[in-house]
Structure 1
């Protein structure tokens, strides 16, 4: 294998952001961060100077991408609410009100089927082990899969409904303005 062949593929996972500029590397590191993290640790992971990391983290904080936690040291945490808001805005921009309504109907139907199958209002109300033991048809893995899908469908329906409401509100404002 020649030296050029080795660089043609994707970077190794540990170094996934190496070819990006420093802003993208810091952003990528923030996306992977699951708990408040010091700027120096983010800088190490992004392979940049801590001062540069602090600069971008401050900017990301103003945009709402990260939450700053004062202390010694100051830490930064990915703001999951920002990413949820961004996803809803993207759904509203990419889909018509009719498409969003149809998706809400599809998800509601799937959720209703799970509620009837498990005789419960939410997946949190189900004891997976007991449900599998009571069923002749479903294994524990089937039940866990159903519960995960049910929870995902509820979250997705909420996102699509919020996007639909956002889109509907925007259309009403344009019609009345």
Structure 2
């Protein structure tokens, strides 16, 4: 099925940035990159000149979006800290201190329930296989699902708490 059959639908997975400008295609490629990559490889992936890719990657590096790694050639990788900072700023802007605090409390309750259920302080301390074997009604998939949700809740609580602190600091200034 071609994308022309569904003009308002998403582009094919193989080419999710087709039709966007070069800057957007490079940005989108960086979002998907998980290891240092040369500008020439990014240029090839987004179908642009390597000089153009280097120009945008240098600009993204100045903004903190990517981290350049010296070498020959210079490689670039996504700066996860930038995206974490951006997410926290967005939460601080979108929610009130009270809403952020309420979400922190909800997540803390969920985390405490997992801690009680698994008698552990964190998901990594749980042996999922042993726990499933000792359980009469919980499959290993159930346990892995809980552990994933627990880990996500811990990460999310940290983000919301940082956003709450940021919002509280901005309010007191």
TM-score, length basis structure 1: 0.94
CA distance, structure 2, for counterparts of residue 23 and residue 132 of structure 1: 48
* Further displaced range: 74-83 or 128-137: 128-137
Q: How far does the alpha carbon of each residue in 1:20-56 deviate from its partner, in whole angstroms, 9 at most, with x for none?
A: 1110000000001010000001011111100000000
Give the match for residue 30 of structure 2.
30
For 1:119, the equivalent position in structure 2 comes to 119
RMSD: 1.7
Q: Kindly report structure 1 stretches of 4+ aligned residues shifted beyond 4 Å.
A: none
Aligned counterpart, 1:47:
47
**Structure 1 residues 172 and 8 mapped into 2: Cα distance closer, same or farther (>3 Å)?**
closer
CA, structure 1 residues 154+8, in 2 after alignment: closer, same or farther (shift >3 Å)?
A: closer
Is 1:64 matched up with 2:53?
Answer: no
The 1:140/1:4 distance shift into structure 2, 3 A limit, reads: closer
In structure 1, the gaps of 5 or more residues are: none
- 5 Å-filtered alignment, 1:98-113, equals 98-113=98-113
Give the distance between the partners of 1:134 and 1:40, measured in 2 at CA. Answer: 53
Pair 29,157 (structure 1): closer, same or farther in 2 beyond 3 Å: same
Q: Give the SS at the match of 1:10.
A: coil
- Residue 140 of structure 1 deviates from its aligned partner by 0.3
Distance in 1 (alpha carbons) for counterparts of 2:169 and 2:6: 52
Q: Write out per-residue CA displacement over residues 51-79 of structure 1, whole angstroms, 9 at most, x where no aligned residue.
A: 00000000000000000000111100000
- Using the TM superposition, give the Cα deviation of residue 6 of structure 1 relative to its aligned residue in structure 2, in angstroms: 6.0
Residue in structure 1 matched with residue 83 of structure 2 by the alignment: 83
